[in-house]
Amino acid sequence: MRIVRLVLLVTSLLFSLRTQAQQTAFTVKVTGQGEPVLLLPGFACTADVWKETVAAISANHECHAFTFAGFGDVPPIGFPWLPTIKEQLIDYVKKKNLKQATIIGHSLGGTLGMWLVTSEPTLFKKLIAVDALPCTGALLMPTFKASQMVYDNPYSKQQLAMDSVHFHQMARQMASGMSLNQTKHGQLVDWMMKADRKTYVYGYIDLLRLDLRDDLANTTVPIVVLAATHPNRQQVETTWNQQLAKLKEKRIYYADQSAHFIMYDQPAWFIAKIRENLQ
């Protein structure tokens, strides 16, 4: 009898640990009813970046707003970080039976969305990518090679060693460039400061490793891009047309007077485009 109880106890413990492991890559806020929409945030942001979006569309859509591990109050996980998030997102969609879900992804979330729709096209109805590129690394490095993106590099070491004062200064400088809406800078800085430092540093390497430009040629899922034009619209248009060159059908809307956080810089335009492309 004791052996039976012990076996049951161990089995229950293993099942519990397995269940927890399957749910470590993110937390989700579910709001509203209707067709499912997955809202994937940008790097270091939480589900709260979608607060106004959820309020605008949740009357007709079931909104699943994510916060990824290592950001906000979600505990960090091991590495590789982004591939784990991707696989657990696919499991989440399948287990919740979210048929033909639309993805709305900002920055990192939009790139992750491209990875999802090119890997599992039958699961998704549409992707609305908000200022998100299929290859961020190529934007930052003209001689980009995914194989060169390694965790152990001088810049990563510098960021990991940075004290909170200097990291805060860096965060403030970054926030000023990512949104023209100064009232939002404090929120952006707070998200960066709350991020687990290793996730912030190594997670970005995971993003830089992605190059989905060729994969876009074969996707059957419609992709809509909302692109910020600040500080140079002509340069922005050139970048997006180059990176999306292999996408068969381009639908790019350019947000004038907006930096990276379009939902903050041009909120009325942003919500209008989201609603238009969800119909």
Domain boundaries, the chain: 26-278
Q: CB neighbours of 4 closer than 8 A, spacing ≥ 6?
A: none
Residue 6: CB atoms within 10 A of its CB come to 10
pLDDT in tens, the chain (279 residues): 444 344 333 333 333 334 344 559 999 999 999 999 999 999 999 999 999 999 999 999 999 999 999 999 999 999 999 999 999 999 999 999 999 999 999 999 999 999 999 999 999 999 999 999 999 999 888 788 888 889 999 999 999 999 999 999 999 999 999 999 999 999 999 999 999 999 999 999 999 999 999 999 999 999 999 999 999 999 999 999 999 999 988 899 999 999 999 999 999 999 999 999 998
| CATH architecture for the domain at 26-278 | 3-Layer(aba) Sandwich (3.40)
Best CA proximity match to 270, nearest among 128, 132, 141: 128
Identity of the residue numbered 206: D
16: left (phi over 0), alpha (psi -120 to 50) or beta: alpha
